Amino acid sequence: MSKYLILGRVSPPSNISFLCFHLAHSQCRQGWREYESKCYFFSTDTKSWPEANAHCMEQNSHLMSIQDIHERVRSSNPDGTRICLRFTFKIFWIGLNDLIVEGIWEWSDGKPFIEYLSFWMSGQPDNWNNTEDCGQVVGYNFGHWNDENCAAKRKYICKYINCKEIWKLQPGALK
């Protein structure tokens, strides 16, 4: 059964084919954890950052970006808060990267990089050996961030925004 109520097409020139609104009480997909209208997936397997990025996108999500203090606190709080039960002492790739311009950090989901939410480990990012362009949260260091070589195999966190409280645009969904 469709989760969405189709409301109609958006007129050209938009390439967005329709608007939809979530009808029922929304839940995250199985295996994902809900927090404040967002759904998070904490992997148990390990992948390189590009593999993890592609995997999240295949799941209609992105590597996690940190867009407010709650996400940062949650991701940095190892005491069993809901979304970080399996977070303690582990390292997870998030969407953080400076792949395009060295030293300019961005989120892979295109959300703004909010400077005051930066949460780097002491001495990081160091772009060690000029090879570190992907960002991770370091569970054993209170969730502080480190840059590491993108080829390193790490666990990863995917995130998508739930439809519960927002109007959602789904490009091409009627094709």
DSSP letters of the chain?
Answer: --SEEE--PPPTT-----EEEE-SPP-PPTT-EEETTEEEEE-SS-B-HHHHHHHHHHTT-EE----SHHHHHHHH--S--GGGTTTTT-EEEEEEE-SSSTT--EETT-----GGG--BPTT----GGG---EEEEEGGGTTEEEEE-TTS-BEEEEEEE-STTSEEE-TTTT-
**Which residue, 98 or 109, is less far from Ca ion as judged by CB?**
98
Which of these segments, 8-16, 38-46, 62-70, 118-126, binds Ca ion (CB under 5 A)?
118-126
Which of these segments, 19-27, 68-76, 111-119, 139-147, binds Ca ion (CB under 5 A)?
139-147
Interface with Ca ion in residues 1-20 (CB under 5 A): none
* One character per residue 61-100, x = contact with Ca ion (rule: CB under 5 A): -------------------------------------x--
Task: Kindly state the smallest distance separating residue 145's Cβ from Ca ion, in Å.
Answer: 9
List 36, 45, 68, 126, residue binding Ca ion (CB under 5 A): 126
Q: Which residues bind to Ca ion, rule: CB under 5 A? A: 98, 124, 126-128, 132-133, 146-147
